A = this chain, B = another copy of it.
Amino acid sequence: MKVINILLAEDQTMLLNALATILDLEDNINVVASCANGKQALSFIQENPALKIDIVLTDIEMPDMTGLDLAHHLHQDNFAGKIIILTTFARSGYLRRAMDSGVTGYLLKDSPSQELINAIAKVHQGERVIAPELMVNAWMEQDPLSEKERQALRLAKDGLSTDDIAQKLFLSSGTVRNYLSSAANKLNAKNRVEAARIAHQNGWL
């Protein structure tokens, strides 16, 4: 029987350990590395070019380097294996970015662990596996925000004042207000706070 070599990247140690254990219980799966973030995973892969890694299974939101950034880097390096994203969030923006980075599997942490095991087998055989929750509104509308609007929203989300945001972004406060106003407009929000919430929920921040 062919063994599938897997690298894990997940910042929640409890889940990382638990996943490593249950995957290793499968006799056609071999966990070759457990990493706490994208940077660790990327380093490991680059420093062990001889090691055959069939699948990288990674979370998205992690410190140092996110799973999306990891996928992006691997894609550019022509990484030979497949990439599966395992995340809490059914955000269409995340899925889009994942697809753009050549990801072939996107599962939610809400699904049963057996589904992960099935997905690993399918992806290894060359299939795509996308959690059904995402297919629904996946191609809804894409991120309407400009980069500056995104940056301003990100700061506004934490309650920074217009002036504080202006300082951080090296912009005039008037410009910041313009950006936030247009962002709220694009997202049909009544104010910057609601706009930030909507953008965040869609994976646009």
Residues of A that sit less than 8 Å from B by CB:
11-15, 17-19, 21-22, 25, 86, 88, 108-114, 116, 156-161, 189-197
Contacts and interface: CB of A to CB of B under 8 A. Distances in A.
B197 A12 contact: no
Contacts of A17: 22, 112-114
9 contacts: A13-B109, A14-B109, A14-B111, A14-B113, A21-B21, A156-B193, A158-B194, A159-B193, A159-B197
A18 B111 CA distance: 11
Given A159-B194, A193-B193, A18 B88 contact: no
A161 B191 contact: yes
Contacts of A108: 14
Contacts of A189: 159
A21 B13 contact: no
Nearest to A25: B21
Nearest to A12: B109
A11 B109 CA distance: 9
Given A22-B21, A197-B158, A109 B191 contact: no
A200 B105 CA distance: 33
B194 A15 contact: no
Closest 4 interchain pairs by CB? A159-B194, A159-B193, A18-B18, A17-B113
Name which of A156, A191, A193, A196 has the most chain B CB atoms within 10 A of its CB.
Answer: A193
Contacts of A18: 15, 18-19, 21-22, 113
Contacts of A21: 18, 21-22, 25, 113
